[in-house]
Amino acid sequence: MLRTSRLRRFVQVLVTAALVPGLCLAAKRSGRDAWQWPERVVEDLGLKNGSRIADVGCGRGYFTFRLAKAVGEKGKVFATEISSRSLKSVADRVKKSKLTNVETVLSDPADTKLGAESLDAAIVVNVYHHAAKGDRPALTKSIAKALRPGGYLYIVDWRFKATIGYDKGRRVPRAEFLQLIKDAGLKLDAEFLYLQHQLFLRCRKPTKDD
């Protein structure tokens, strides 16, 4: 009986020790950060000092300013948005922070207004489910056009059956994303699985050698 009791206490200690790092990490996260994992997402974009990336549908800049830090002073973040009000919020923060590597771009629902082959990468987070279904193909092709050969489009959007309560009536099936990617001339290059509620797809623009 004594041995059993000691064994149980030992197991409890081991389990607690294993959980402590996760509990500490969770304690540091709150709100959207708790499930979006923005730092890890940005890390997985593989950006370098000097990279040029578009934050398509940037909203109020949740990812924009993290991307600006990742690309460094020699890099460039193009923050595109169809809402002039949201874009002004980003522009005001850029000015206040005296950032020189962020450029705001007022775009259309189906056109990013970005130059051809001007980007190393683009990221689109929780945007596609807001776009009209008829605009999604043109939007994807517009992003693909802006990528240099070998560049990447990263799509982060709700899993169709995610348990989180947001946007349940407008989510985009994974198969539709794959078709949009294919029709835009891109290839699914990788899929990250660690986000609880979201798909995270990496799509590559082929080069002449592919």
List the structure tokens of 166.
Answer: 């947001």
Element (H, E) at 148: strand 147-158
The yes-or-no verdict on residue 17 having pLDDT over 70 is no
The answer to whether 160 and 129 have CB atoms below 8 angstroms apart is no
Predicted local confidence at residue 29, as pLDDT: 63
Cα gap 145→141, rounded to integer Å: 6
Q: What is the chain's Cα-based Rg?
A: 20
Predicted local confidence at residue 28, as pLDDT: 56
Cα gap 62→10, rounded to integer Å: 43
Cα gap 164→41, rounded to integer Å: 19
The yes-or-no verdict on residue 46 having pLDDT over 90 is yes
Phi, psi values for residue 203, rounded to 5°? -120, 135
Looking at every residue in the chain, the average pLDDT score rounds to 90
The yes-or-no verdict on residue 58 having pLDDT over 70 is yes
Per-residue pLDDT band at 135 (split at 50, 70, 90): very high
Closest CA to 98 of 117, 118, 73: 73
Based on the number of CB atoms within 10 Å of its own CB, is 193 exposed (0-12), middle (13-18) or buried (19 or more)? exposed
- How many CA atoms, within 13 angstroms, populate the side-chain half-sphere of residue 73? 1
Per-residue pLDDT band at 177 (split at 50, 70, 90): very high
Per-residue pLDDT band at 128 (split at 50, 70, 90): very high
The yes-or-no verdict on residue 89 having pLDDT over 70 is yes
pLDDT tens for each residue of 99-120: 999 999 999 999 999 999 999 9
Closest CA to 58 of 99, 94, 93, 90: 90
Cα gap 65→55, rounded to integer Å: 10
Based on the number of CB atoms within 10 Å of its own CB, is 166 exposed (0-12), middle (13-18) or buried (19 or more)? exposed
The yes-or-no verdict on residue 131 having pLDDT over 90 is yes
